[in-house]
Amino acid sequence: MKTGLIEKVVGKHIVSPKGFKAAGIHCGVKHKKKDLALLVSDVPASVAGVFTTNAIKAAPVILTKETIYDSRKLQAVILNSGNANACTGKKGLADARIMQQLVADKLGMAANTVGVCSTGVIGVHLPMEPITKGIQEIHVQDDLESGIDFAQALLTTDTVMKNTTYTVQIDGETVTIAGVAKGSGMIEPNMATMLGLITTDAAIDSDTLQALLAACTNVTFNAITVDGDTSTNDTVLALANGLAGNQLLTPKHADWDAFKEAFLLVSQDLAKMIAKDGEGATKLIETTVVGAVTNVEAIKIAKTVVGSPLVKTAVFGNDANWGRILAAVGYSGCTIDPTNVFIKIGDEAVVEAGEPLPFSETYLLDYLKQSEIKIFVDLHVGEGQGKAWGCDLTYDYVQINATYRS
């Protein structure tokens, strides 16, 4: 098979790369749904992590960040949903450490090779009795059903699982990269209210993996927004166990660009799934900005547009109110020339040189009824370009979040 060839694999999950096993069960944090998940690598894996920028960080974020920076390896990750273990003080941190040690003892590995993640209600201590019992009972497998169970156990207000898998040919070996995520509300990075796991059987060291994850995060997980809120628990971890048998990947490797592209595709797929599954959402909004002064400013402008409550409600109402898009571009804080802005919704140009164009209301009314809406902005002030993803703002978003604790 051709070296560097990238293929998307349908129907695969987080255990698709060699040497990974997973499980998801109901232990009792939630009333009925699965709420405890465990991911295990056959061997210690290189690890990278990106975390919430909120100054208020949940106990598992503090612990896992400390763990991976200390050991530079992970072999397991334990996750629970239904309770964020955030704003829980010294007891919360102690509970996270207990979860870590319980898994380490169960699997016969060092505690500093176990990551811990939580998601759910803030400000409530973990129910440690069912979690302890659940850790004792959970058993990982490498089959598709176990991967699905794992993904289901992460969900809170999500309506769908979020999984994606790609393969890429490296040194004549098939390297697999898989990702799973949860996220639906409190989505405003840098990052989102999300837990994300990326597994790969590629051989790559932790420092190189960290640089890659950070770069991909900037243009994927950091380019989505649902509601402008930043969570206390955001975590994305990438584990690479090297079992594919390729030569060590570095930016100097002949197939580095192909691996980087496949890794980016996994991150982008997950980011778009999160944006599309925003609480109460009916539509995914993708904004592309070109002609900005820098790529950073392009992403910032695109994110401002998809994050605008007025743009989001206009899309929900099938209203081609391009003035809201232009206004969002203007208050983004980035360099623009109002007399040079071009805007297109779908295939219909609505603004050129900062002035309105005649357009088909009928076309845009029909277009805005679709499930995926694309907005294009050309600033004509530079070479920067970038994308961001968000969703419409609906009545259901208010209902979901007005009754979240009940």
Query: What is the pairing mode between strands 284-292 and 355-356?
Result: unpaired
Q: The sheet that has 372-378: what strands, in order across it?
A: 355-356, 348-352, 342-345, 372-378, 284-292, 384-391
Alpha carbon distance 151, 14 (integer Å): 8
Q: Select which of 193, 200, 287, 304 is catalytic.
A: 193
* 157 tagged catalytic: no
Global model pTM greater than 0.85: no
Contact between residue 83 and residue 243 where contact means Cβ atoms under 8 Å apart? no
Contact between residue 219 and residue 262 where contact means Cβ atoms under 8 Å apart? no
How high is the mean pLDDT in each 10-residue block of the chain (406 residues)?
Answer: 81 91 97 96 97 88 94 96 93 98 98 95 94 98 95 85 94 96 56 78 98 94 68 89 98 97 96 76 91 96 92 91 94 95 97 94 95 96 94 68 52
Environment class of 50 (CB within 10 Å of its CB; exposed 0-12, middle 13-18, buried 19+): buried
Specify the pLDDT at position 390: 86
Specify the pLDDT at position 214: 94
Q: Give the CA angle between residues 85, 87, 88 to the nearest 5°.
A: 60
Specify the pLDDT at position 189: 42
Alpha carbon distance 101, 95 (integer Å): 10
Alpha carbon distance 316, 172 (integer Å): 48
Q: Give the domains, in start order, of the chain with CATH numbers.
A: 6-274 (3.60.70.12), 284-402 (3.10.20.340)
Specify the pLDDT at position 2: 66
